Structure 1
Amino acid sequence: MPPFTVLHVCMGNICRSPMAERLLTLRVNQIAGDEDLVYSHSCGIGLWHVGERMNPPAARELRSRGGTDAGFKAQHIARDLVEASDVILTATDEQYEYIAETFPDALPRTFLLRHFGRLAAGIDPNELPVSDGSAAAVHARGVALVAAADRRRDSQDAENLDDPWGESPAIFRRIGDEIDEALKPVVAALLS
């Protein structure tokens, strides 16, 4: 039950997925004034960085947008994280395929992040339950959004989110922009 829970997944959980995790929390708080309406967490499919802090260029990009990397520690994907999440947003097809093979029961609620953003943008808000701004209403709206996106899965192209690890600040900025752009319609749909 509430709050609506979003799991962001990338390769090592030090660049893309933590940026998405923290940007979603930031954007929900900016609109609703209550970051607790949505629980945003992240993990990686690889084990290399478990326990590490966010990659410094990713953390700098996140802070430049008003977010914080404080307290972040990379973690590996696990069944309990997947089962506790209402939607799972991957950076690439590779992570999507990993979930398909490892947690096939989660596929109806698993999407590439950019794909889910495009699907959310095309869903009529009238198809979703009316929200009174409470955590229960946001949760119900989010679950309905995921179900509607699953029904329309083939209506939008799915695009990967490039891995910025080891790249220039300009690449991290582009990835931050793409994450923010994908999250805007999701946040709007949840909080309208």
Structure 2
Amino acid sequence: MPPFSILHVCMGNICRSPMAERLLVVAARDLAGDKADDLLFVHSTGTGGWHAGDRMDAAAARQVLARGGEIETFRARQLAAEHIEASDLILTATAEQHEFVQVLAPDAADRAFVLGEFGRLLRQVDLSALPPAEPAPDAVYARGVALVSAVADLRADQPPRPGDDLDDPWGRGHRYFGRVADEIEETVRPLAAALLGA
């Protein structure tokens, strides 16, 4: 069984989605140690290819490093249909990027969400109704699929809100990047806990 795969998407893949990718990895490792890498596959892309091959934005990298993450192996990529097809959960920075994903892969509708939207709905999920959390790839995969389905069911009655979007911090100062990183952690930390059990 492959690990449960989570794809983060933003515009250029140098600020928001890399922070989300690496901060989710930090949250998962805090709960499961090095075994987290066998349980979850976390990656990111951008809707545009302007920065393909580039390192993370320096201000974003500072946030990741300050919160215990790793940046050296990161290189920006442009979103392609195969990235979506290989992912069990797609989290976009904004509703506009969510629409981009929908156009590229219409069959991903039930597993693609705006990051803030997913975090908001996740708080309403009865985690005790999901398959049990166990430190094994097949168990995490089953729990992840059930979690995504539960959040999709909740979304049917609760449309996205403007506040679900993550502001683009590119070109802004340290404090602005810090606020965006805090907002990312408000979703990725509960997500890691829901998947891995905490």
* TM-score (norm. length: structure 1): 0.96
Structure 1: 4+ residue segments shifted above 3 A: 154-158
CA distance in 2, matches of 1:157, 1:114: 9
CA distance in 2, matches of 1:13, 1:157: 22
**Equivalent residues in 2 for 1:1-192 (5 A)?**
1-33=1-33, 34-36=35-37, 37-153=39-155, 154-155=157-158, 157-158=160-161, 159-192=164-197
- Residue ranges of structure 1 left out of the alignment (5+ in a row): none
Q: Is the 8 A contact 2:12 2:49 kept in 1?
A: yes
Q: Is the 8 A contact 2:10 2:47 kept in 1?
A: yes
Deviations 1:75-105 (A, max 9, x none): 0001111101000000001100111112111
Paired AA for residue 55 in structure 1: D
Q: Is the 8 A contact 2:14 2:56 kept in 1?
A: yes
- Residue ranges of structure 2 left out of the alignment (5+ in a row): none
Identity value in percent? 51
CA distance in 2, matches of 1:130, 1:93: 32
CA distance in 2, matches of 1:9, 1:104: 16
* TM-score (norm. length: structure 2): 0.94
Pairwise CA distance, 1:70: 1.1
Q: Is the 8 A contact 1:7 1:41 kept in 2?
A: yes
Deviations 1:156-187 (A, max 9, x none): 75410000000010000000000001112211
Pairwise CA distance, 1:35: 2.4
Judge which range, 21-30 or 119-128, deviates more.
119-128
Paired AA for residue 15 in structure 1: C
Paired AA for residue 57 in structure 1: A
CA distance in 2, matches of 1:56, 1:83: 30
> How many residue pairs end up in the alignment?
192
Q: Is the 8 A contact 2:114 2:165 kept in 1?
A: yes
Q: Is the 8 A contact 1:24 1:40 kept in 2?
A: yes
Pairwise CA distance, 1:71: 1.1
CA distance in 2, matches of 1:155, 1:54: 34
